[in-house]
Amino acid sequence: MADDLEVLEALRPIVDPEVGISIVDLGLVYRAERVSGRIDVAITLTTRACPLGEMILEEVRAALATCFPDVGEIRVDLVWEPPWTPDRMSPDALSRLG
């Protein structure tokens, strides 16, 4: 199933504070879909040692609740497989990081 573009757009303003780039452009969103009255999102982090992981997860939940107030359930999973690599980044993010 393809990612839901409206869900991705709701997540685009969320920035990884360590690099200053959207989690969408960094390729940290592995799944973003609406299914049967709920939103399912899977994200990863650039590293397991990221001290801001819980903050990012809360920002994801808050952004989705704001953009989709009528949805019944929002499920946000932190996943580690497959491991994140820079090749998941958008061309814009790659150019910004050099």
φ, ψ of residue 38 in degrees (nearest 5): -140, 165
Task: Give which of 21, 30, 32, 19 is closest to 63, Cα–Cα.
Answer: 32
Q: Which domain, by its residues, includes 48? A: 5-80
pTM of the model: 0.91
Per the structure, the count of domains in the chain is: 1
Which CATH number goes with the domain that contains 24? 3.30.300.130
Residue 68: the pLDDT is 95
Per residue in 70-82, pLDDT (tens digit) is 999 999 999 999 9
Token pair of 39, please?
Answer: 């939103």
Determine the Cα–Cα distance for residues 72 and 17; give it in Å rounded to an integer: 29
Note whether residue 30 is domain-resident: yes
Note whether residue 88 is domain-resident: no
On the question of pLDDT at 3 being above 90, the answer is no
Note whether residue 91 is domain-resident: no
